[in-house]
Structure 1
């Protein structure tokens, strides 16, 4: 066996293994989101995650991969690689093309899963399928090409986004913001004066298990992005990932404890995820000490962003906009501050920070605007929002014909149809 063939085999095993870890994160999304929504919508959120996997994989195989990684055209999109056909030598891979696609397909599925939680409990299932097709075929691959495609225009400017704080999380987080605004808030979430009526999650232990699954999978997300089993950076990347997530959880927990006297479990879980999201761009570029700072700030930023989203009367049941959109944007920009090579605070250089800010603003804007256009077009085919009756009964029974817990949670958990507030919000009055 030659050294080259041994290296190919090791890299292939490493990428398949870490891709499997990323795909397993879908179980984390399912558990986390099911725990944060009401019991009458648990089956619905699980089915949306199945849609992410099933249709996301198929669309990324047939269209998305080619747009994202095909031979570059004008720095904007790829032009071959559809159905994994054509010469992909321009990528300079150290693994087979189909193995690289496997890893990238897991990323594409993660991007659409970020949106599913933000529009939970009131989105038409058919409309969600159509949006999944748009996200994984066009929306994510296009902006992904700008950053990661061979010769993409942001890549050519020097943007650094190792595993996707901007390309995946910030873009999808702001896509989730657009989707949540278009679909509208759940019935009874906001009063006429803008005040918030908290809607209790159905199962915090389930959400906690989902957080742990996502936490585990993130080591594949970040360390796997080396695409190289013998990379000297794997250990540092994994350590940065752990430190940032721990500091994110710590800052969120302590912030709520000091502010309210109680350690909030939902914010603690999302604080861990915020730290993970924020370090995803810089895990290969910043020091371990910087990872701690990035994660700690992300945990508090997530709480502030959650409040901002609610003040804008946007209903996000799982906090996807704050966790992925805002902390993803921060994490991408933080590379320009803390990178050991070119960071403003580490080297005094401004260029990288400027590129990171530009790229982050571009992909966030793209996620928001493209999702707005996609959902407006989908509205012409099928309703994006469920009916008032379907929402009050719950999407489990309305769209899937069964309850998650053998009848538990099938009762009306929202305000009565007879209440004027509900009728006003539903457009009856």
Structure 2
């Protein structure tokens, strides 16, 4: 009897050890995928840089790239100091909470613990992945107000908007706040990231005003971009990065759900680009590459809110509608003389709102259109007034716009002392 008991005990111990090894292996696989997703989101900053430098004028290339370089630096540092603990404060009143300055083992108990986040990833991966999203929200603003904004004003706005505003608003849903309790759904940030960034961009455009010579005698004057190939490369880098943006938002390496999310994401991008092309052909009577590119991004933004809860067929519809909306939104912006260099408001705000509402229309499960609409209105009612006030204060204090001379001759030479494109001829 004793021998049998010992054998059974050894078998139980061995089974427990194998189960532990399996759990650790799964935890490791999950964390590796999340780190890869983090890297993919990071590469989106290179995509934004390509799009903005490509669509911007050559005389402002260095200025645009400077802002795109400084943005993730500011975003990650402010997220380290206070953003992460504002966005995920733990127990709080649903509107505002703060878990303290900085990050570390004290906040995580054990950053590498398998018990953290249901064995999906470590505390450190969690911080870095979410920090990349924060920096992305600021980059959206950068492209919209390019070619006439002071770098100093942009940097101050970014510190405040990304360090304080974005994480507080994010806590309302992703931090377990009042919108989360209400049932509002935003899988990867059509509203929390893209619309919040889009509202900031719209406020900036309104306060700063259009570029010199953009609207003359009721006509929209085209300002050719520096490099169409660079813009195309930028869009494809963003599409690549969206594999991490949406795929990483599964918050594990779940093979079925991750692969499904990537399919819906890609299909929406395809129909977004296709219907951007069709719509632009009807409206502008030409095959407009810029609208195909922004149509792709529009589809990606649109599907981001519900990539895990809509059917593949629905993802095609969501992307198609986004592709149509982005064209008409861009036309409307010009009618109101709202000068958006890269179409950031049309892509991120207009299609972010559409994608969020689409969850209430196409979502498989208990999703309410009215709840989604309430969420959209809550973010609009907070993000836009705050961004508008920030830009207004900056305008009345340090100023937000460069001089007419600098804008006319180009920001690169005056603000940075170098040009983005230099041709040297030998004597």
**TM-score, normalised to structure 1's length?**
0.90
1:257, CA displacement in angstroms?
2.3
1:24-60: per-residue Cα shift (whole Å, max 9, x none)? 0100000000000100011111110111111111001
Q: Is the 8 A contact 1:165 1:281 kept in 2?
A: yes
How far the C-alpha of 1:194 sits from its partner, in A, is: 3.6
Match of 1:422 in 2: none
- Post-superposition Cα deviations, 1:85-139, rounded to whole Å, max 9, x if no partner, equal 4435898453221110110011011110000000000000111111110121111
Secondary structure of the structure 2 residue equivalent to 1:315: coil
Give 1:423's aligned residue.
Answer: none
Match of 2:310 in 1: 286
The residue correspondences of 1:330-409 to structure 2 (distance < 5 A) are: 330-343=354-367, 352-406=368-422
Q: Give yes or no for contact 2:52–2:342 (8 Å, CA) kept in 1.
A: yes
Aligned residues: 398
Q: Equivalents in 2 of 1:358, 1:68: separation in Å?
A: 20
Q: Give per-residue Cα distances to partners, 1:334-392, cap 9 Å, x unaligned.
A: 0000001135xxxxxxxx11110010121123221111111223335421111111111
For structure 1, the 5+ residue unaligned runs are: 344-351, 409-429
Query: Quick one: distance in 2 between partners of 1:54 and 1:180?
Result: 23
Q: 1:381 to 1:72 in 2, by over 3 A?
A: farther
Match of 1:185 in 2: 210
2:147 alignment partner in structure 1: 121
Which of the pair has more CA radius of gyration?
2
Contact 1:51 1:132 in 2 (8 A): no
Matches within 5 A, 1:314-325: 314-325=338-349
Mapped to 1, the partners of 2:271 and 2:49 lie a distance apart of 24
Separation (CA, whole Å) in 2 of partners of 1:127 and 1:93: 41
1:87 equivalenced with 2:103 (yes/no): no
Query: Unpaired segments of 5 or more residues in structure 2?
Result: 1-19, 110-114
Q: Is residue 11–residue 229 contact of structure 1 (8 Å, CA) maintained in 2?
A: yes
Residues 211 and 4 of structure 1: CA distance in aligned 2, closer, same or farther (over 3 Å): same
Q: Deviations over 1:386-418 (max 9, x none)?
A: 11111111111121110001169xxxxxxxxxx
- Regions of 4+ moved over 3 Å: 85-93, 258-261
2:191 matches 1:172:
no
The answer as to 2:159 corresponding to 1:139 is no
Name the structure 2 match of 1:62: 81
Q: State the secondary structure of the residue aligned to 2:102.
A: helix
Report the counterpart of residue 23 of structure 2 in structure 1: 4
Q: CA RMSD in A?
A: 1.7
- TM-score normalised by structure 2 residue count: 0.90
Q: Is the 8 A contact 2:203 2:391 kept in 1?
A: no
More moved, 378-387 vs 181-190: 378-387
Contact 1:251 1:300 in 2 (8 A): yes
